[in-house]
Structure 1
Amino acid sequence: LPYLTAFCICVLSGLPASGKTTISTEITQRLTCIQICYDALIQWLDLTGEGKWKLARNQVVSLVEKMLEMIKESVFEVWDILVQYKRKGLDSLVFFIDDTMQYRSMRYDYVQLAKKYQTGFCVIQTSCPLDICIKRNESRPKRQSVSRLSVVQIHAQLETIGRCAWEKECSILIETFGVINENTYKSLVQLIKNNLSNPLCENASPDPVEVKNSRLANHKSVLHQADLIMRVLVGDMIKRIRTENLKVRNTQVLNAKKQILKDLK
């Protein structure tokens, strides 16, 4: 059977119009990749109503799992693809998940897949100023753009990488407000290659006692509970902001949140 010896799930995280698709398209020219763009998959769905966005994201996770399962088992539907890869001398495949992935829990869904199917895993998070992302987004065709409010909300919700153990060793933050240079692309390719050769496995899951203690500590933490509450308050406040100078007001709200957390700490 034609057989691919290495897989990696590479999750892209960042604001809309921050350069995620540009990165995945460029790296696809350097590695064998399958691009899975969330926006392209869900653009025809009716997402009005509570919980529809989360349901759509769960469907994308299920799609990736089905593809991994089919390729791992070399089933008939992907036979031709596997043969083509093998003829070209390729023995690895990267799944690029192109989405905002602002919450750590969204990214963790793919960690679980990587463990289940024993693939590599890494995260590339883009860093781009809010005003630049808004400007880029508004210059896009209507079908490819989101509302200004959505960009602002995702900016408020974005959880930076590296705050937990499973992200520290397999993630990278890159600035994308300008042209991405060749050295940066080389670093991204190297990150993926490193994780192709170091797949996760289910046996590497954390100790249940440690997880329980960690959750209990978070539950008892005033700082953690305050952060959760203020995320909701900030989101509601941003929705109510009706001003031309949206960037300034958004910055004021986020700075106030940071100061409150700092005072509590």
Structure 2
Amino acid sequence: MRTAAADGGRPAGAAAGLLAALAAAAAEQQGGAGRARVGLCVLCGLPAAGKSTLARALRRRLPQRPGWACAVLSYDELIPPEAFGPPEAEAGAGPAGPSPLLPRWKRSRRELLQCLECFLRALVAGEPLSAPASATQPAWGRFLAWCQGQGLLSSAESAGAGRRWTRAATSRPLCVILDDNFYYQSMRYEVYQLARKYSLSFCQLFLECPLECCLQRNRLRSHPLPDQTIYLMARKIEMPDLKKNSWEQNSLILKSSDCTSEDNEQIISLLATALENPVKQNEENTEQKEADRAICAASTVHQADQTCRRIISQTMKDAKDKNVLPSEMKSLAEELNKLKAEFLEDLRQGNHLKNQICIQNQYSDPATSVISSFQHEATNLVNKYILK
């Protein structure tokens, strides 16, 4: 891998000084005394970009030099394949209407983060590990197995309430590498929020790999993803924006090719710098507030998508009640879904004002504009079938 961009990159001398300081700090913690020092490193990029290979290399390398413990949290291993099946109703939905459908993979990601938070809270406080109230038993069982497999939790204590940390988890700085695509900034920001909440270090390694190379590598896998999935992800992926987002400053963007010794030094330097500068809990500034607003804006498309789905469901019910022929119901559904995709793409691109309804009514909220326009067009579509 070759460094394409690095913020916080330091020369070898500076990195050596940091490593010496960290080695001294680790020596002070021998025997489990003091607060555990934990860093979260988000490893992101397209499928088959080389993330898991890099994660395994770091897990071998970090305990040897600079002497840290290292654990790799692989989303592919902890999120079961069935999570990518049909969506399911959100638990605890209110009685006001039908429960919104939540994709299982999103629920699984949420559960994994909840388990990770319990892990971080207990480790930093030096307390026994206990399950989160909201995660399912299978999710927690998988997480416990991960802890034991990474040498962080005593397997002899795993069945009872007195689960104990191993020396690997408490006696040296611990780097937890999160291995996933993390193609949206919002996905990575959730991890940053955990680091900020518990005053941990945070950094990102982004593997930039050409699309065709990822496709070729993926096809050689024993269980390859569909090409279309990687094409779609390539269109959506959001690289770290070091200038715009202050929370992404500790980031390294690497070209996915043969690893060089220079890249090794850059990665170690990034991890060391992050570990020496944990995120402050009360870190508030104008740039951060702007980043928070940007993340909230990204969720607007998701909210509009959920509302449009409910509109389609109600529209199809109305069409059935109005005796639209079964042979035409399929065509109506296809037209409605195509219409939804077009409206959501307009919202993503900021082109919602080109819809005539939005121009006429001058809605201040883009999502409200799109939803209102979609409702109007959906009504026109179903009327076309009813009046045939």
Aligned residue for 2:253?
A: 173
Q: What's the CA shift string for 1:93-146, capped at 9, x where partnerless?
A: 01111000010000000111001111000011001010110110110111xx32
Code of the residue aligned with 2:278 in structure 1: it is P
Contact 2:83-2:105 within 8 A present in 1 as well: no
Residues matched between the structures, number: 219
Deviation of 1:227 after TM superposition, in Å, equals 7.5
Contact 2:42-2:177 within 8 A present in 1 as well: yes
Contact 1:2-1:82 within 8 A present in 2 as well: no
CA distance in 2, matches of 1:136, 1:213: 36
Aligned residue for 1:30?
A: 61
CA distance in 2, matches of 1:122, 1:209: 16
Code of the residue aligned with 1:229 in structure 2: it is R
CA distance in 2, matches of 1:137, 1:114: 32
Code of the residue aligned with 1:166 in structure 2: it is S
- CA shift in 2, pair 1:139/1:213, >3 Å: closer
- CA shift in 2, pair 1:39/1:73, >3 Å: same
**Unmatched tracts of structure 1, length 5 or more:** 220-224, 233-265
Contact 1:27-1:185 within 8 A present in 2 as well: no
- CA shift in 2, pair 1:227/1:102, >3 Å: farther
Task: State the TM-score, normalizing by the size of structure 2.
Answer: 0.51
CA distance in 2, matches of 1:54, 1:110: 15
Deviation of 1:231 after TM superposition, in Å, equals 9.4
Contact 2:44-2:205 within 8 A present in 1 as well: yes
Aligned residue for 2:119?
A: 67
- Structural mapping, 1:182-201, within 5 Å: 182-201=261-280
2:283 aligned to 204, 213, 221, which one?
204
- CA shift in 2, pair 1:228/1:38, >3 Å: farther
Deviation of 1:46 after TM superposition, in Å, equals 3.4
Aligned residue for 2:301?
A: none
Deviation of 1:55 after TM superposition, in Å, equals 1.6
Deviation of 1:182 after TM superposition, in Å, equals 1.7
Aligned residue for 1:2?
A: 32
SS at match of 2:61: coil
Identical counterparts, % of pairs:
24
2:167 aligned to 76, 83, 106, which one?
83
Q: What's the CA shift string for 1:130-169, capped at 9, x where partnerless?
A: 0110110110111xx3221111111111111125333442
- CA shift in 2, pair 1:150/1:81, >3 Å: same
- CA shift in 2, pair 1:5/1:74, >3 Å: closer
Deviation of 1:191 after TM superposition, in Å, equals 0.3
Does residue 141 of the first structure (1) align with residue 222 of the second (2)? yes
SS at match of 1:203: coil
Aligned residue for 1:47?
A: 84
Does residue 127 of the first structure (1) align with residue 208 of the second (2)? yes
- CA shift in 2, pair 1:160/1:73, >3 Å: same
Bigger shift: residues 59-68 or 108-117: 59-68
Contact 1:161-1:167 within 8 A present in 2 as well: no
Q: What's the CA shift string for 1:6-34, capped at 9, x where partnerless?
A: 21100011000001111111111222211
- CA shift in 2, pair 1:22/1:208, >3 Å: closer
Aligned residue for 1:15?
A: 46
- CA shift in 2, pair 1:2/1:231, >3 Å: farther
Deviation of 1:210 after TM superposition, in Å, equals 4.8
SS at match of 2:32: coil
Deviation of 1:84 after TM superposition, in Å, equals 4.3
- CA RMSD for the aligned pairs? 3.0
The structure, 1 or 2, with the larger RCO (C-alpha pairs under 8 Å, 6+ apart) is 1
